[in-house]
Structure 1
Amino acid sequence: MSKIAISIGDINGVGIEIALRAHKDIAQWCEPIYCVHSEILESALALLGKEEVFDSVLRSMCFSPPAVGFLENLRIQAGEISALSGAYSYESFMQAVRLAQDSQCDAIVTLPIHKKAWQLGGVPYVGHTEALGAYFGVHSIMMLGCESMFVALFSDHIALKEVSPLVKDSDVRDFLVCFARSVCLNEPCCVLGLNPHCGDGGLMGNEDEEICRAIKEANKILKKDLFFGAYPPDSAFSPLNRERFRYFVSMYHDVGLAPLKALYFEESINVSLNLPILRTSVDHGVAYDKAYKNDASLSLTSYFNAVKYALKHQKNKKDFL
């Protein structure tokens, strides 16, 4: 049975409750290894008022806790941004990474962190993707979606004003080739332009001409027509296009993820590509407003899909370099 390391995310958010509620199902598919201290989960159970309900679940869990020197000061503060919770979620994540790097697990799945808490906790990265890229010394590609639609991001967590200077044909070409190899792409992929109407022949910028050149060069390198475009971003996700394409590449974060989340918010996951390990994640935040309230609306779908994707694709992780 495959082993999946689970980083617990921000302990002040919904991650722990998701892990506890989903464990019985997840344990039927794989051997989950939770990167958290059992004492933290026991505290969470007390806050949820579920000690008796989840007692057998807790005893069946396998732990690989991160080595931290501040555990005695760490307390769950439901719905609060905390430097210690940020630092702990990062250490949990890095423990999962080390397990994967040492081949003690087949992939890692991450529960949600809070970016501000990471910053307060002294973590020098915006999020998981950037941390993985820095750790392995490569460009980590962020792809989000579900089996119905996946969106890869040429640029992700940067300011919009910084995107345009990055759109050069050689850089976009290299990204497309790397992405295709990372996901073993064997079906057509729609590449979005940057400007309204793809620049209207240069009337609104020439970045889209760079994208079109990159597409031709990437297909030539791959010896197959896999990438098509550039498509105007406002119509790229039309029903007709979604019948033709399951994979999309967006030049920046929001134009690609807005339609994805409108269509598949609860189903969507986050995947980090171009790495020697496979990392998947839920595609939602810490939901502080729902934390430790036994909220019946709390969905497990994204978490289930993240684990299923990891199990399905972990055998191809060596192709992600």
Structure 2
Amino acid sequence: MKPYIAISIGDLNGVGIEIALKAHKKISAICTPIYCINSYMLHQACELLDVEIPSDFEIFEVEGSFNIREGCVDKDAGRYSYDSFMSAVKLCEEKKTDAVVTMPIHKEAWSLAGLHYKGHTDLLRDYFKKDAIMMLGCDKMFVALYTEHIPLREVASHITKEGLLSFFLDLNRAIPNKRFAVLGLNPHAGDNGVLGDEERVIEAAIEEANETIGQELFVGAIVPDIAFTPHMRSSFTHFVAMYHDQGLAPLKALYFDESINVSLNLPIIRTSVDHGTAFDIAYKGKANTLSYENAIKSAIEFGMTVSASS
């Protein structure tokens, strides 16, 4: 039987619903998608897109209604995207679906709606009381983020041996036996303390993690400016970055259209597109579906991996 995937439709003022409709036929061949949106909002979106609703477009009714304002930051759209996401999470939590795939939300719209989470991963971390790990990429390269949506000036204070050790061990439990190149924080990976000493903490955590696991799975601290060169990517497909842009700037430069977002170390499987709401092209028929298609495929693959290991 094809797996059931709960689809959180994201901010309806953006490109998420267009992508879902465009890719529906293709993804329905490999799974049964359950879209968390109600009939009224779906019909409104389809009228704006001038498309027909597919006959097999199965929905889970999420209460609420508002006027879609394509390309606008809107508290009602923010609230509805949150409600859609929580509906999808609960479907998966109740074993009615096998995974959750999320379309993009808009952080400012969530804030306007009185939601103080910085994004899906932050919400999942709070909801499940687990240290969710954000990993982004595609089959050519994945980057796990040690810190995510925090100011750059705060990153160094988060570099602790205890925090890194817990992160490495959680990452290994989520993806067993995978080798990771771990980036340093400072230019030249600190040059033996000349440009900063955070790398000594990173290396101590790596050493203890490898000893605990019994394999040398974490390698570093790697000089950040050479970490994503062709030579390094011929040796590693998985990386750990110390902060958001350190890992995501090179990833998006190389694989923007095809990369996805995965939440690890949680009791449910959740993947997502790795792009934003794209308000500038919302409801113009220009949205690219590749990241979404890859997110669906990865949700299925992660589900098969979990089933095989349990």
Q: TM-score range by the shorter chain?
A: over 0.9
The answer for the alignment partner of 1:165 in structure 2 is 157
- Structure 2 residue 155 is matched with structure 1 residue 177: no
Alpha-carbon distance between aligned partners in 1 of 2:93 and 2:116, rounded to the nearest angstrom: 21
Partner SS state of residue 29, structure 2 = helix
CA contact (8 A) 2:260 2:295 kept: yes
The answer for the alignment partner of 2:299 in structure 1 is 310
Q: Deviations over 1:89-111 (max 9, x none)?
A: 00000000000110000000000
Give the 3 Å change call, closer, same or farther, for CA 176–320 of structure 1 in structure 2: farther
The answer for the alignment partner of 2:14 in structure 1 is 13
Alpha-carbon distance between aligned partners in 2 of 1:229 and 1:280, rounded to the nearest angstrom: 27
Give the 3 Å change call, closer, same or farther, for CA 244–181 of structure 1 in structure 2: same
Match of 2:62 among 60, 66, 75: 66
| Deviation (angstroms), 1:66 | 2.2
Query: Could you tell me the TM-score, scaled by structure 2's length?
Result: 0.97
Identity of aligned residues (%): 50
The answer for the alignment partner of 1:232 in structure 2 is 223
The answer for the alignment partner of 1:101 in structure 2 is 93
Give the 3 Å change call, closer, same or farther, for CA 224–319 of structure 1 in structure 2: farther
CA contact (8 A) 1:7 1:35 kept: yes
| Deviation (angstroms), 1:187 | 3.6
Match of 1:263 among 254, 279, 297: 254
Alpha-carbon distance between aligned partners in 2 of 1:188 and 1:123, rounded to the nearest angstrom: 37
Counterparts of 1:1-321 in structure 2, within 5 Å, are: 1-50=2-51, 54-55=52-53, 57=54, 59-68=55-64, 71=65, 74-184=66-176, 186-295=177-286, 298-317=287-306
Partner SS state of residue 126, structure 1 = coil
| Deviation (angstroms), 1:176 | 0.7
Partner SS state of residue 135, structure 2 = strand
| Deviation (angstroms), 1:318 | 7.4
| Deviation (angstroms), 1:124 | 1.9
Give the 3 Å change call, closer, same or farther, for CA 66–293 of structure 1 in structure 2: same
Partner SS state of residue 303, structure 1 = helix
| Deviation (angstroms), 1:130 | 0.2
Alpha-carbon distance between aligned partners in 2 of 1:273 and 1:26, rounded to the nearest angstrom: 23
**Structure 1 counterpart of 2:155, which letter?**
V
**Structure 2 counterpart of 1:233, which letter?**
P
Give every structure 1 segment of 4 or more consecutive aligned residues whose post-TM-superposition deviation is greater than 6 Å.
318-321
| Count of aligned pairs between the two proteins | 309
CA contact (8 A) 2:172 2:178 kept: no
| Deviation (angstroms), 1:255 | 0.6
Is there any run of 5+ residues in structure 1 with no aligned partner, and where?
Answer: none
Partner SS state of residue 267, structure 2 = coil
CA contact (8 A) 1:275 1:320 kept: no
Q: Deviations over 1:234-288 (max 9, x none)?
A: 1111110000000000010001111100000001000000000010000000000
Q: Deviations over 1:51-108 (max 9, x none)?
A: xxx24x1x3111112244xx2xx11100000000000000000000000110000000
CA contact (8 A) 2:137 2:259 kept: yes
Is there any run of 5+ residues in structure 2 with no aligned partner, and where?
Answer: none
CA contact (8 A) 2:38 2:63 kept: no
Alpha-carbon distance between aligned partners in 2 of 1:307 and 1:38, rounded to the nearest angstrom: 23
Q: Deviations over 1:23-46 (max 9, x none)?
A: 111111111000001211111111
| Deviation (angstroms), 1:157 | 0.6
Give the 3 Å change call, closer, same or farther, for CA 187–132 of structure 1 in structure 2: closer
CA contact (8 A) 1:110 1:279 kept: yes
Partner SS state of residue 46, structure 1 = helix
CA contact (8 A) 1:44 1:76 kept: yes
Q: Deviations over 1:114-138 (max 9, x none)?
A: 0000110111201000000000001
**Structure 2 counterpart of 1:306, which letter?**
A
**Structure 2 counterpart of 1:178, which letter?**
D
